[in-house]
Structure 1
């Protein structure tokens, strides 16, 4: 529905900036739950971007659909931003914890292993694993990924490869306990241990990733 009033436009801009509590006033003022801003981004996408599940639920009660979030309700996006409550909500609504992104093959588990704030992301990781996420899925090889800065390409890596580079001991142990293969190899033949070594990870990490007769 077109946005007409200056007040409505202003509220949309503030919602986009993170003031998602204004969604309730915006709808109560008679605006549509499927409104979009000047760039064509919907209210529900902004609420998901900022991790506001209450606002999303409110929009759904007023006629919006989770389909507006995109494929698989953009579970990868919720995971990437480290929103455990939103991730759990989307999974409960039917999002597939093993659905890969079409372009890169990155699964939600891969998206949980791109940043260093492990407290938030390990909570997301636990939710994914508890709901059946498979730890040995690989990305497509040599595809530019939006999970990192420009020019970074996927390497047919598993989530454990990324955990070896960016996770902590708890992160890695969760994946191993879920059945992650410690000897899996990326497109270059590198194992998670190799990734950990490249990233100068501490000995406590290296020990978890050793296999065969080799020990750190």
Structure 2
């Protein structure tokens, strides 16, 4: 804390840690200027001085010369203790003040103080009140990218499509002001009206994103089926605006979305499933096993974590009011508390329990629900590739007049290539796929059996507190030895002598260690 100025001076500052007017009243010969963080500010005992001042008869509702009350200063500095005290002494929770004629709740929202927002709303603060710029709290939170506050306000009943006095919705403000996936992604999850136009310009959120050059939000809106043909009051589409700005990235993506509008061509696997003649050609059992395993990996639920609308709102409120609404444990897209070992897949746009990775090969995530099917698919695919390689060798032995032992490698290679170029190509193709499938299955087995971790956990182990990571190793709390890991993963049972530990990873949030055994554990 620094003392500056002299008698008669009274200066205030509206950003960062602020000096309310009460301090110059209490110490009339000086004006206070604070250049420290909030915790250090508290250590100097300003709370005690303010309390002494109020107890001496100062009216907490009296604004300073900038029309700002003590409650506003406490809100912007996230001083919950002072807020409780001021309200107990008659402070008006929705009193307007400042240059923008805002409430303390507006100030707390602008600063991103979720705990203060929760506290003020407990005292009856109205988040739907508008400030001098015509914005309510949910619009301010969307503008400044405070995703947790947006989630809390919507969960507490604020309309996700509420328009401010300028005719802008929270989604439009997020698209125009916030160049990150959130809070746009969160608003889309709340089923916001993505094609709604504003009151005056008739611009949709996609228009505003293009005007701001917000490529991140443009991708999100296109994925949410935003109308690329929507016209504003001037008859301009988002593509027209992108062309005016000569932004090549925006032009290409909007043109692709326009060309793809209304088209949904089936994938190869879907066509294969519908083609009965093609299915009948697969006469070998191994081929059918591969297709079945692929179907299971592709179509099975990988462990999607689901929740009803009411459960989502209840979770947001509970986490916010307990101070736990942190994006490390809360998914702003799915609006759920993340179970341990889960992760949100950006491709599938959903949270997956015991997430391993997203596999574009099967068009699905690999998680707790289909990881075993995926491993079975890899195993039988590897067997099929080996069978194909063996078939090529058998063909050459019968139909090609050459011998590896007699002619040597290079002559043998030349002769089998000229004997049947197609078979030689199939052999090279099989060798190529054998190498990467073998590497993949060995890597997966090593992680499952030796490490007891998933691919995601191995790549991001340093980000998870329950892993012990050194320069040479990763110690996983889920590693219980090679045999035990395999039994649990493949759910092996044998006459009651071998039983896997069954864990529902979609509802598992914490882990506690059994201290009675070095390798034992207890899941909670």
Aligned to 1:23: 80
- Taking structure 1 as reference, are residues 178 and 59 closer, same or farther at Cα in structure 2, changes over 3 Å only? same
- Taking structure 1 as reference, are residues 126 and 68 closer, same or farther at Cα in structure 2, changes over 3 Å only? closer
CA distance in 2, matches of 1:189, 1:10: 47
- Taking structure 1 as reference, are residues 187 and 72 closer, same or farther at Cα in structure 2, changes over 3 Å only? closer
Aligned to 2:196: 137
CA distance in 2, matches of 1:96, 1:5: 32
| 1:58 is aligned to 2:119 | yes
Aligned to 1:74: 137
- Taking structure 1 as reference, are residues 66 and 174 closer, same or farther at Cα in structure 2, changes over 3 Å only? same
| 1:3 is aligned to 2:61 | yes
Contact 1:33 1:59 in 2 (8 A): no
- The offset of 1:25, in angstroms, is 2.3
Contact 1:88 1:127 in 2 (8 A): yes
Aligned to 1:184: 230
- The offset of 1:22, in angstroms, is 2.0
Describe the superposition over 1:142-181 as per-residue Cα deviations: whole angstroms up to 9, x where unpaired.
xxxxxxxxxxxxx211111111222443311211121211
Contact 2:94 2:103 in 1 (8 A): yes
- Taking structure 1 as reference, are residues 130 and 72 closer, same or farther at Cα in structure 2, changes over 3 Å only? farther
CA distance in 2, matches of 1:197, 1:10: 49
Q: Number of paired residues?
A: 190
CA distance in 1, matches of 2:230, 2:246: 19
Unpaired runs of 5+ residues, structure 1, are 142-154
- Taking structure 1 as reference, are residues 66 and 178 closer, same or farther at Cα in structure 2, changes over 3 Å only? same
Range with bigger deviation, 189-198 or 166-175:
166-175
- The offset of 1:33, in angstroms, is 5.9
| 1:42 is aligned to 2:103 | yes
- The offset of 1:66, in angstroms, is 2.9
Describe the superposition over 1:173-202 as per-residue Cα deviations: whole angstroms up to 9, x where unpaired.
21112121112111111110111122232x
CA distance in 1, matches of 2:148, 2:95: 24
- Taking structure 1 as reference, are residues 76 and 171 closer, same or farther at Cα in structure 2, changes over 3 Å only? same
| 1:86 is aligned to 2:149 | yes
- The offset of 1:130, in angstroms, is 0.4
Counterpart pick for 1:112 among 174, 177, 194: 174
TM-score by length of 1: 0.73
Aligned to 1:124: 183
CA distance in 1, matches of 2:72, 2:155: 30
The residue matched to 1:65 in structure 2 has which SS?
coil
TM-score by length of 2: 0.33
CA distance in 2, matches of 1:91, 1:126: 14
Unpaired runs of 5+ residues, structure 2, are 1-58, 261-524
- The offset of 1:60, in angstroms, is 3.1
Contact 2:72 2:107 in 1 (8 A): no
Counterpart pick for 1:207 among 242, 245, 252: 252
Contact 1:24 1:55 in 2 (8 A): no
Note the aligned Cα RMSD (angstroms). 3.0
- The offset of 1:90, in angstroms, is 0.3
